Amino acid sequence: MKKISIALIALLSASVMSAHADVESAHKLANKYLGIAKAINPEYKDFSAEDGKAFFNREITVKGKQVACASCHTANPADPGKHIVTGKPIRPLSPVVNAKRFADLDKVEKNFTSHCNDIIGRDCTAQEKANFIAYLLTADKP
Ligand code: HEC
């Protein structure tokens, strides 16, 4: 009995840790962007989840259509999204509910670059990325 409960505790804490790992890596990544953003703009002191939210929901006209990050990722980044062109489901963007997010930094960079270019016509700044991740980390569970 004792052996089983120890094994169970080990198992539980391992799963808690791995669920944590991507919130952790999202924090790390947000801090990396924060560092870059501060180096570029000393006026910028800290994350603003509020600015991240505004950025996420801001509609921009792309090829005559109003599009925002929220168009595919929904207004709540903890909810599953849907691609507006292909109709394909998209798993939630927030690392709070989707442990696979922000786990692979190369993938995150690649997605940022391609989506930012698609939507706003340029890569996002470090400040925008830092705020964006800070906002995703505040997302409510659905
Ligand atoms: C036209 C639909 C669409 C729009 C608009 C869109 N995305 Fe995405 N996004 C996707 C899809 C599809 C994926 C990848 C699906 C997956 O990994 O499950 C994704 C994934 C991402 C990821 C990867 C996160 C990770 O670690 O896996 C980031 C970051 C991201 N999007 C940021 C943005 C930002 C910032 C905007 C607004 C500037 C935006 N997206 C707008 C469709 C979209």
Could you list the pLDDT tens digit for every one of the 142 residues in the chain? 555 555 544 444 444 444 566 788 888 889 999 999 999 999 999 999 999 999 999 998 888 888 999 999 999 999 999 999 999 999 999 988 998 888 888 888 999 999 899 888 899 999 999 999 999 999 866 5
* Residue 67 beta carbon below 6 angstroms from any ligand 1 atom: yes
Q: If DSSP codes are grouped into helix, strand and coil, which group holds residue 84? A: coil
121/42 Cα distance (integer angstroms): 25
Number of the ligand 1 atom closest to the C-alpha atom of 104: 26
* Residue 47 beta carbon below 6 angstroms from any ligand 1 atom: no
Two tokens, residue 133: 């991740």
- Between the CA of 47 and the centroid of ligand 1 the distance, in Å, is 20
Pocket test for ligand 1, best of 23, 55, 73 (most atoms within 8 A of CB): 73
The whole model's pTM is what? 0.81
- 2-137 fold: Cytochrome Bc1 Complex; Chain D, domain 2 (1.10.760)
